[in-house]
Amino acid sequence: MKRIALNALFVVALLLSSGFAQNINIGFTVSKTGALNVDSLEQYRGFELWRDQVNAGGGVKAGGKSYKVQFVGNYDDESNVKRVQQLYTRMILQDNADFLFSPYSSSLTATAAIVTEQYGKIMLTSGSAEGKTYTLGNHYLFQMFAPGTEYLKFVLDMLKAKDPKATVAFVYEDAPFSVSVVNPGKAYAQQLGFNVVFSEAYAPNTTDFSAIIDKVIAAKPTVLIGGGHYPDGSTLARQLYNHKVNLKMITLLVAPDSPQWSELGDAAAGVIVPSQWEPQTSFKAEYGPSGADFAKAYTAKYNVPPSYESAGGYACGLILQRAIEQAGSTDTAKVATALNATDITTFYGKTKFATTPGEHGLQIGHSMVLAQWQKNKSGNLVKQVVWPLAAKSADLVYPIR
Amino acid sequence: MIDGLLIGSVYGLAAMGLSLIWGVMDVINLTHGAVIALGMFGMYILFTALHLNAYLLLLPIIAMGLVFGTLVYWTSVHWVIGRPQLSSLLSTFAVNMIIIGAGTAIWSTSPYNVNFSVPGFTVGLYTFTGNHMAAAAAAVIIALALELFLYRTRPGKAIRAVADNREAAELMGISSTTVLALAFAIGIALAAASGALVSTLFPFTILSGGAYQLKSFVVTVLAGLGRPLGALAAGLLLGLLEGAVTPFIAVSWIPLIEFGLFVIVLVVFPKGIFAKATA
């Protein structure tokens, strides 16, 4: 009896000493295993850094109370849609999640969104660019990434300025995200007058690209645009290099944004990636840390520079935090109203959500940049911002080989 | 097309292991894919630790494969030989799950790469990578070595004798248990070697063996059971087919064609196209 009383006293003391009135429970899954592992982990680190910094600063302050941010779940979704469906339900029903962040990738997010919307929970999505999910009449879904239709606009604009006679091949992963990027990209390329000489999608788990590469060589494009996620994108780049395919420009989705990309060595050089954010982009933050402070804290904690997935993850937290503060409450309806009214610039850039019923929650404020892997004077590979010209940190290298 | 032939020889090597075990002991070895993946990781670990020529590292991998195969034989296969095929299917499937589970815990299912490249050569616009050619050469050498072993050495002949008629072989003084253990170990070592070769070509995860296991089934059915050179030839045929059809159709259709072929061969040549000619 005495022991129970002592334990109870200890627990009460522990609760009091934390200084927080209540917790905010945030649920999400991470692809700790499976094909999306690399990008998902980077997104998670963004969430984690935000949580640690907010709690160290006394938590989220709303309506005169301090809330401690607590992650519930943090399960491994195995990069698998079925697991996402089970786990998001579990986080809402059993783990009492107040708010949710999305898993990584458009396909997993589309599934999670069905669950969160069904239970009327707010979910901020990062690492998910496909726009279709937002046309389904959701009320509590808010997108942090610029949608897929934006990815290739800059690429093709830049190409038009540099080499209007270029011939283009599209080689891309047969997955919701890359398809949602490439289809409008292809249409835009034709609209700009480019000759699209080859276009083929490959299965998401492809490791042997030799057959597709042979077809690309036969079609004689000068520019290749495509990819999907990390494993296929890195393999495609490596095999394009090993097969000495003569291309003036290679643009791949997602994969080259990861700091890990430099491990490909010479195959990595020159590759361009449409990016949601780069450490070199300098937005004047009206809320939260500056880009430099974010990058510094991130690098200090994880020993690698942040990718745009990391920045998107951190920004998710930041925008939710601001909405809760504005709402003065953690009530879903009030926070949703605050999110609908969000129009703010953070280190990550501008964030504004569409509020029309046909595309509610779609990101309409954020704009993208193009980054290219280049060798610096000491021969090391670094990622430089090359477009838009106003934001560039280095000149575009064209042709690359 | 040439790329297809080169990769086909590796398919052939992978299938040889499956075919040998299936043919000799009538066990469909479902650990095959997992062992291929272990071969990949074996190469990755040895290569990152030692930085030796990847093809030299095949020797320790084959040796480890033999040891591991013997171990698996005595722990989970020996007891189910001669029982209904479902028993051995279940038992090898269990080992498969154990390997994949342990592998996932250690390496997760993230992709790994063996950063080893051999310079290739260029003909016109097309470049053939050195890795593909070296892997094909290694596969052919291993296949020939196995053929020599089976047809020219005493233990090899004993394996064939046991495969033909276990009781008769025992009456001749051959210890069928030892021979079965040896055949199983060799089958596993072949799978590991093919995995190691694949790892020098493509990135891989602990789950990557599955795709090669499926291809091995197609190759084994094409070739008929227990014939190493037949498996190599069928592997080449499969690779050639992949190479020949891809210019005309989207690459995602290849599995459909392969497994369509699988069904057709099963129906038309139930003993394999090569087996029929020699039977």
Residues A242-281 pLDDT 10s: 888 999 999 999 899 888 888 888 899 999 999 999 988 8
Question: Cβ of B251 and A212 within 8 Å?
Answer: yes
* % chain A with pLDDT above 90: 69
For range B45-58, the mean pLDDT = 90
Yes or no: say if A375 and A394 are a contact pair by the CB < 8 Å rule: no
What beta strand segments (E) does chain B contain?
A: 121-123, 126-128
DSSP three-state, residue A129: coil
Question: Cβ of A174 and B127 within 8 Å?
Answer: no
DSSP three-state, residue A398: coil
Which residues of chain B make contact with A231, given a CB cutoff of 8 A?
111, 203
Which residues of chain B make contact with A211, given a CB cutoff of 8 A?
3-4, 242-243, 246, 251, 254
With CA atoms as reference, the chain B residue closest to A216 would be B247
> Given a cut of 80, is residue A82 above it in pLDDT?
yes
What DSSP assignment string belongs to B51-84? ---TTTTHHHHHHHHHHHHHHHIIIIIGGGTTS-
ipTM of the complex: 0.76
Among the listed residues A94, A96, A183, A106, the one whose alpha carbon sits nearest the alpha carbon of residue A143: A106
What architecture (CATH level 2) is domain A2-146+281-359? 3-Layer(aba) Sandwich (3.40)
Phi-psi region for residue A152, left (φ > 0), alpha (ψ -120 to 50) or beta? Answer: alpha
Number of A:B CB contacts under 8 A? 77
What beta strand segments (E) does A102-227 contain?
A: 123-125, 141-143, 167-173, 195-202, 223-227
> Given a cut of 80, is residue B198 above it in pLDDT?
yes
Q: Which of A50-54, B4-8, B233-237 holds the top average pLDDT?
A: A50-54
Among the listed residues B34, B62, B16, B11, the one whose alpha carbon sits nearest the alpha carbon of residue B208: B34
Question: Cβ of A78 and B109 within 8 Å?
Answer: yes
> Given a cut of 90, is residue B190 above it in pLDDT?
yes
Long-range contacts of B46-49 (CB under 8 A, 24+ apart): B47/B114, B47/B115, B47/B116
Beta bridge partners of A343: A352
Write down the pLDDT at residue B193.
95
Substitution target from A30, A33, A229 for chain B, most B beta carbons within 10 A: A33
Nearest-5° Cα angle at A33, A32 to A34: 135
What architecture (CATH level 2) is domain A150-275+369-391? 3-Layer(aba) Sandwich (3.40)
Name the more confident of B261 and A52.
A52
Q: pLDDT class for B276, splitting at 50, 70, 90?
A: very low
Residues whose CB is less than 8 angstroms from the CB of residue A118 and which lie 6 or more positions away in sequence, other chains included:
none
Long-range contacts of A38-41 (CB under 8 A, 24+ apart): A38/A230, A38/A231, A38/A258, A38/A260, A38/B110, A39/A104, A39/A105, A39/A127, A39/A229, A39/A230, A39/A254, A39/A258, A39/A307, A39/A309, A40/A79, A40/A103, A40/A104, A40/A105, A40/A127, A40/A309
Substitution target from B11, B126, B245, B254 for chain A, most A beta carbons within 10 A: B126
Q: pLDDT tens digit string along B80-110?
A: 887 888 888 999 999 999 999 999 889 887 7
Q: pLDDT tens digit string along A154-175?
A: 899 999 999 999 999 999 999 8
Q: pLDDT class for B278, splitting at 50, 70, 90?
A: very low
For range A318-340, the mean pLDDT = 95
Among the listed residues A61, A18, A179, the one whose alpha carbon sits nearest the alpha carbon of residue A110: A179
Token reading at B89: 């299917």
* % chain B with pLDDT above 70: 97
Yes or no: say if B168 and B177 are a contact pair by the CB < 8 Å rule: no
Question: Cβ of B250 and A211 within 8 Å?
Answer: no
Q: Does domain B2-112+127-278 have CATH number 3.40.462?
A: no
Question: Cβ of B111 and A35 within 8 Å?
Answer: yes
Question: Cβ of A210 and B7 within 8 Å?
Answer: yes
Distances (CA, A) of A220 to A168, A200, A400: 9, 14, 16
Question: Cβ of A215 and B247 within 8 Å?
Answer: yes
Question: Cβ of B111 and A78 within 8 Å?
Answer: no
SS3 content of chain A, % helix, strand, coil (to 5): 45, 20, 35
Residues of chain A with CATH 3.40.50.2300: 2-146+281-359, 150-275+369-391
Alpha carbons A385 and A275: distance in angstroms, whole number:
9
Beta bridge partners of A387: A370
Write down the pLDDT at residue A8.
59
B247 CB within 8 Å of a chain A CB: yes
Token reading at A288: 């939260």
* % chain A with pLDDT above 70: 95
Q: pLDDT class for A15, splitting at 50, 70, 90?
A: very low
- Span of A50-59, A391-400, B165-174, B202-211 with lowest mean pLDDT: B165-174
Question: Cβ of B104 and A33 within 8 Å?
Answer: yes
> Given a cut of 90, is residue B261 above it in pLDDT?
no
Which residues of chain A make contact with B7, given a CB cutoff of 8 A?
208, 210
> What value does the CA radius of gyration of chain B take, rounded to a whole number of Å?
18
B210 CB within 8 Å of a chain A CB: no
Sign of CA dihedral B217, B222, B228, B232: negative
Question: Cβ of B252 and A235 within 8 Å?
Answer: no
Alpha carbons B91 and A359: distance in angstroms, whole number:
53
Number of H helices, E strands in chain B: 12, 2
Q: Scanning the structure block, which residue is given the tokens 């033999």? A: B66
Alpha carbons A228 and B115: distance in angstroms, whole number:
22
B109 CB within 8 Å of a chain A CB: yes
For range B221-232, the mean pLDDT = 81
Alpha carbons B73 and A285: distance in angstroms, whole number:
64
Q: A-contacting residues of B 130-189, CB under 8 Å? A: 131-132
> Given a cut of 80, is residue A391 above it in pLDDT?
no
CA distance to partner chain B, nearest, from residue A401 (Å): 14
Chain mean position to CA A50: 15
Which residues of chain B make contact with A214, given a CB cutoff of 8 A?
3, 126, 246-247
Yes or no: say if B240 and B1 are a contact pair by the CB < 8 Å rule: yes
With CA atoms as reference, the chain B residue closest to A79 would be B109
Write down the pLDDT at residue A11.
52
Alpha carbons A114 and A116: distance in angstroms, whole number:
6
With CA atoms as reference, the chain A residue closest to B243 would be A211
> Given a cut of 50, is residue A375 above it in pLDDT?
yes
Write down the pLDDT at residue A222.
95
Question: Cβ of A242 and B129 within 8 Å?
Answer: yes
- Span of A89-103, A255-269, A315-329, B180-194 with lowest mean pLDDT: A255-269
Q: pLDDT tens digit string along B113-148?
A: 888 878 878 877 777 888 888 999 999 999 999 989
Write down the pLDDT at residue A16.
46
Question: Cβ of A231 and B201 within 8 Å?
Answer: no
Alpha helices in A258-392 (DSSP H): 291-302, 308-327, 332-340
Alpha carbons B204 and B41: distance in angstroms, whole number:
9
> Given a cut of 50, is residue A84 above it in pLDDT?
yes
What DSSP assignment string belongs to A312-324? HHHHHHHHHHHHH
For range A92-111, the mean pLDDT = 95
> Given a cut of 70, is residue A14 above it in pLDDT?
no
Among the listed residues A39, A21, A17, the one whose alpha carbon sits nearest the alpha carbon of residue A30: A39
Alpha carbons A174 and A98: distance in angstroms, whole number:
34
Q: To which H or E segment does residue A346 belong?
A: strand A343-346
DSSP three-state, residue A373: strand
Which residues of chain B make contact with A32, given a CB cutoff of 8 A?
108
> Given a cut of 50, is residue B244 above it in pLDDT?
yes
